[in-house]
Structure 1
Amino acid sequence: MSDITRLNKGPRMSQAVIYNGIVHLSGQVDTNGKTAADQTHAILANIEKLLEDAGSNKSRILQATIWLNNVADFDEMNSVWDAWVDPENPPARACGECKLALDSLKVEILITAAVAA
């Protein structure tokens, strides 16, 4: 039996990998939303589902890395993030601007969380 669990496996990547009590999510994007806020809402909903599937939740997030296609979307993304994040358990977080895989993508979020004990 493997000590590594992979969720939602595809030919290129898994959406989540659990090892040693930690779940590592792949970078999450949304291809439907037109605004940074819309994409952030959809991404965070998907993150909640993946965390639940892995036996975790947003109160157990250890670290978040957020990439923005344009740093001008920082405040818009943060308005959604701030309403969503557990205020009692905010994670370590970094946010920066970078070119994302598709021009239509405005936000990508990478999460690492502890699995519930």
Structure 2
Amino acid sequence: MITRKMRTPIMHRAVEHAGTVYVAGVIGDDMTQSMKGQTASALAKIEKVLVEAGTSKKNLLAATLYITDMSQKSAMNEAWNEWLAPEDLPARATIGVADLGEKVLIEIVVTAAAG
């Protein structure tokens, strides 16, 4: 069975199937923030989506982080490591992209085990 949650005009924020929750790409709220600020904001939003989908960041399986400037990866990692405990780190990839939208520095996609 597929369960879709938090519908938007173009997608659902989370889709659950066979005990796995897939979270759509998330960006921060304030594009004037630094890479660390946008990352922290996006992660806070992801945490809310995970909770609403009945799981938590402790159940993360995988994450893909898309960033527009690889020279800012250390700032992104700072926010990431402040958000997650070392024992809860998922498999992860960071991919450099040319453009995510006006002033958007990062977009994050995660997959988690259902709660």
The TM-score range, normalised by the shorter chain, is over 0.9
Q: Does 1:88 align with 2:87?
A: yes
- The alignment yields a C-alpha RMSD, in angstroms, of 1.1
Identity %: 34
| Distance in 2 between residues matched to 1:81 and 1:17, nearest whole Å | 23
Aligned residues: 114
Q: Secondary structure at the match of 1:88?
A: helix
What TM-score, normalized to structure 1?
Answer: 0.92
| Distance in 2 between residues matched to 1:99 and 1:12, nearest whole Å | 22
Q: Does 1:28 align with 2:34?
A: no
What TM-score, normalized to structure 2?
Answer: 0.93
Q: Does 1:45 align with 2:38?
A: no
Deviation at 1:40, TM superposition (A): 0.7
Q: Secondary structure at the match of 2:25?
A: coil
Runs of 4 or more off by more than 2 Å in structure 1? Answer: none
Contact 1:55–1:115 (CA<8 Å) still a contact in 2?
yes
| Distance in 2 between residues matched to 1:17 and 1:63, nearest whole Å | 15
Structure 1: gaps (5+ residues): none
Q: Which amino acid aligns with 2:46?
A: I
Deviation at 1:79, TM superposition (A): 0.5
Q: Secondary structure at the match of 2:82?
A: helix
1:17 is aligned, of 8, 15, 18, to: 15
Deviation at 1:55, TM superposition (A): 1.0
Deviates more, 1:81-90 or 1:71-80: 81-90
Q: Can you list the C-alpha shifts for 1:35-83, whole angstroms capped at 9, x where unaligned?
A: 1111111101011101101111111100000011110110001001011
| Distance in 2 between residues matched to 1:94 and 1:40, nearest whole Å | 15
